[in-house]
């Protein structure tokens, strides 16, 4: 897994300034990079239009053909065909699965990679690259049977509402790498599959 620190403070400050609660004074946001804005909009289309509506054609267009995806359990898949297969699996027992909101999004055109505790973030470690990070809210209802190993769990109607994070590396306007984070234990507990 990649170790790194994102250098996008002005974009993050802009996002936080726009999201400041009413009644709290906020400075005008700094000018945002048109590239970062375009990528964040493209990621909105990925979650709200492609994934949530199961538009696998659009989903495939947004991702690079050789996309690498790291899942919360640490396994990594390669290629859009496998990524689409994995995403389709999420809808079998929860057909209303969707990303309902993106409360936080930010991006950067540079990032710093810290390879060791001795080699830390510095101007020398800056690397050009297009990255976005988005907090999404995943919602679903357990309405169809779920295969778990050699048994099938009947649906119970329980609802899921879970925050997730996607860190995305873009190349030539498509998603080349995704790092997905969500709490698998909370996912199972909310659906009534674990105590």
CA 161/CA 103 separation, integer angstroms: 14
> SS3 sequence, 104-139?
EEEEEEEEECCCCCCCCCCHHHEEEEEEEEEEEEEE
Rounded-to-integer distance, Cα 69 and Cα 145, Å: 26
Q: Is 151 helix (H, G, I), strand (E, B) or coil?
A: strand
How much is the pTM? 0.79
Domains and CATH numbers, the chain: 5-16+31-190 (3.10.450.50)
> Residue 13 — very low, low, confident or very high, per pLDDT cuts 50/70/90?
very low
pLDDT tens, 137-188? 999 999 999 998 899 999 999 999 999 999 999 999 999 999 999 999 999 9
The Cα 182–Cα 195 span in angstroms is: 18
- pLDDT on residue 10: 33
Q: Rounded to a whole number, what is the distance in angstroms from the first to the last CA of the chain?
A: 30
């Amino acid at each position: 897994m990649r170790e790194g620190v994102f250098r996008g403070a002005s974009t993050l400050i802009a996002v936080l300034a726009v999201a400041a609660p009413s009644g709290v004074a906020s400075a005008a946001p700094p000018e945002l990079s048109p590239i970062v804005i375009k990528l964040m909009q493209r990621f909105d289309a990925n979650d709200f239009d492609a994934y949530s509506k199961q538009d696998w054609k659009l989903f495939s267009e947004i991702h690079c053909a050789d996309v690498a995806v790291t899942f919360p359990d640490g396994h990594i898949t390669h290629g859009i065909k496998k990524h689409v297969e994995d995403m389709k699996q999420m809808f079998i027992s929860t057909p209303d699965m969707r990303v309902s909101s993106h409360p936080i999004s930010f991006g950067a055109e540079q990032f710093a990679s810290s390879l060791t505790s001795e080699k830390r973030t510095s101007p020398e470690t800056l690397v050009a690259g297009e990255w976005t990070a988005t907090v999404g809210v995943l919602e679903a209802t357990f309405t169809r049977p779920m295969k778990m190993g050699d048994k099938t769990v009947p649906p119970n109607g329980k609802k899921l509402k879970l925050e997730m994070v996607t860190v995305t590396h873009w190349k030539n306007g498509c998603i080349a790498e995704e790092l997905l984070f969500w709490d698998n234990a909370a996912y199972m507990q909310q659906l009534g599959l674990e105590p």
